[in-house]
């Protein structure tokens, strides 16, 4: 070992005084400058081609009472018949006694991009006189999907691509009463927001006037009797004037709906999500039929006084919901599901097994 020391010392470059050091050897703050085309940008094309071959998976759940237009809303989101509606009333279409879950999977394609879409409906939720613990089957289903993914992940010989059946987003339909959030709504969002991304919407918002819609969004009153384990906000309680009151209601009940403020890291993302949070809950209208308006085919609901255009931001906030779920935050929904909700379940299960 001692015989190698002179050789190592001889390989070191001679010491150059700092003031005489050439400019080219001074490291730059952001890296070196390239003087020709290398082709690093081609990595994006490689990732795009590989991802398009593998395809995407997206799983969405819709929760709400019967008759709020859940199936119509899903069909409007993806502009196809991805959610089946009962055509004729029969034995199977009657209100179930308990909450049931029905999942339908389709492969939809747009401009060469394929996506495996799974829609999970929850018939029977909130339709009974006694709705105690009606959220338990939904929580059980979501945890079962986490458990299925975990079992595949901890295998010694794992699949190259684990099938992802985890729920990436839950759209909760609030009835358009125009008065207040019910104890059932508050309790459901409080429990489910801890394990899944919850996006609340006001269903069939065309039944409310613009004034009623604005008031419904800003109202902080809860039902007088409250809900089990949920503290009621006292009437007349002072609220911060710079935030919408509905956000204060969600905060008072420890409800963190998507997009969660705690996960905003990039300043641009934070600014975008702040604008989205100001509009929550979205007042939406669903329609899967086309009508002729000014020579154009548009999706809408036809009434005696005109046509309510679903994709017109002046008529409803469906475009905001569509952009959030598909165009701007689809991948973020999947990332938060994997890195936050699934990770919490994974840590808890591994601690229990140990």
Residues 167-190 have a mean pLDDT of 86
Q: Which residue has the higher pLDDT, 20 or 325?
A: 325
150 three-class SS: helix
Q: What are phi and psi of 298, to 5 degrees?
A: -130, 150
Q: Which residue has the higher pLDDT, 179 or 349?
A: 349
Q: Which residue has the higher pLDDT, 314 or 13?
A: 314
What secondary structure letter does DSSP report for 89? -
Q: Residue 310: which of 70, 76, 67, 79 has the closest Cα?
A: 76
Alpha carbon distance 222, 183 (integer Å): 7
- Residue 5, pLDDT > 80, answer no
The band of 224, judged by pLDDT with boundaries at 50, 70 and 90, is very low
As beta bridge partners, residue 108 has 115
pLDDT at 152: 94
Residues 137-162 have a mean pLDDT of 93
Mean pLDDT of the chain: 79
The band of 232, judged by pLDDT with boundaries at 50, 70 and 90, is very low
- Residue 340, pLDDT > 90, answer yes
In tens, the pLDDT along 31-47 reads 677 788 888 889 988 98
Rounded-to-10 torsion of CA 205, 117, 168, 265: -90
Rounded-to-10 torsion of CA 124, 125, 130, 131: 150
The band of 301, judged by pLDDT with boundaries at 50, 70 and 90, is confident
Alpha carbon distance 181, 184 (integer Å): 8
CA atoms within 13 A on the CB side of 112: 6
Residues 227-235 have a mean pLDDT of 39
Domains of the chain, start order? 44-82+97-226+254-353 (3.40.50.300)
Alpha carbon distance 107, 117 (integer Å): 6
- Residue 20, pLDDT > 60, answer no
Whether 193 contacts 255, CB under 8 Å:
yes
Least confident of 10-24, 64-78, 101-115, 168-182: 10-24
Other beta carbons within 10 angstroms of residue 231's beta carbon come to 12
- Residue 126, pLDDT > 60, answer yes
Least confident of 2-11, 169-178, 251-260, 314-323: 2-11
As beta bridge partners, residue 93 has none
Q: Which residue has the tokens 């036809």?
A: 302
The band of 229, judged by pLDDT with boundaries at 50, 70 and 90, is very low
Query: Would you list the DSSP string of 305-338?
Result: TEEEETT-TTT-SHHHHHIIIIIISHHHHHHHII
How far is Cα of residue 273 from the mean position of the Cα atoms in its chain?
A: 12
Q: Which residue has the higher pLDDT, 294 or 331?
A: 331
- Residue 215, pLDDT > 60, answer yes
């Amino acid at each position: 070992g001692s015989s190698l020391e002179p050789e190592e010392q001889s390989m070191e470059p001679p010491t150059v005084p700092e003031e005489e050091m050439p400019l080219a050897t001074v490291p730059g703050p952001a890296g070196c400058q390239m003087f020709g085309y290398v082709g690093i940008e081609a990595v994006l094309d490689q990732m795009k081609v590989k991802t398009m071959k593998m395809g995407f998976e997206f799983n969405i759940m819709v929760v709400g009472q019967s008759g709020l237009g859940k199936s119509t809303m899903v069909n409007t989101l993806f502009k196809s018949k991805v959610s089946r509606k009962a055509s004729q009333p029969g034995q199977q279409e009657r209100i179930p006694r308990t909450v049931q879950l029905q999942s339908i999977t389709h492969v939809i394609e747009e401009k060469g991009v394929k996506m495996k879409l799974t829609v999970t409906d929850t018939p029977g939720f909130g339709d009974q006189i006694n709705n105690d613990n009606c959220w338990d089957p939904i929580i059980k289903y979501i945890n079962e999907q986490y458990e299925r993914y975990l079992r595949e992940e901890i295998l010694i010989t794992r699949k190259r691509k684990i099938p992802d059946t985890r729920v990436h987003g839950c759209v909760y339909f609030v009835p358009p009463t125009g008065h207040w959030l019910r104890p059932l709504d508050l309790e459901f969002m409080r429990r489910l927001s801890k394990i899944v991304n919850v996006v609340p919407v006001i269903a069939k918002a065309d039944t409310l006037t613009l004034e009623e819609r604005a008031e419904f969004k800003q109202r902080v009153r809860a039902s007088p009797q409250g809900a089990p384990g949920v503290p009621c906000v006292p009437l007349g309680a002072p609220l911060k004037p710079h935030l919408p009151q509905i956000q204060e209601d969600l905060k008072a009940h420890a409800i963190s709906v998507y997009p969660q403020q705690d996960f905003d890291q990039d300043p641009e993302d934070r600014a975008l999500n702040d604008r989205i949070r100001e509009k929550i809950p979205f007042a939406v209208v669903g329609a899967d039929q086309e009508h002729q308006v000014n020579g154009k085919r548009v999706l809408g609901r036809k009434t005696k006084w005109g046509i309510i255009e679903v994709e017109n931001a002046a008529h409803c906030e469906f475009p905001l919901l569509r952009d959030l779920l598909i165009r701007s935050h689809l991948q973020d929904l999947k990332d938060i599901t994997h890195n936050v909700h699934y990770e919490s379940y994974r840590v808890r299960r591994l601690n229990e097994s140990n």
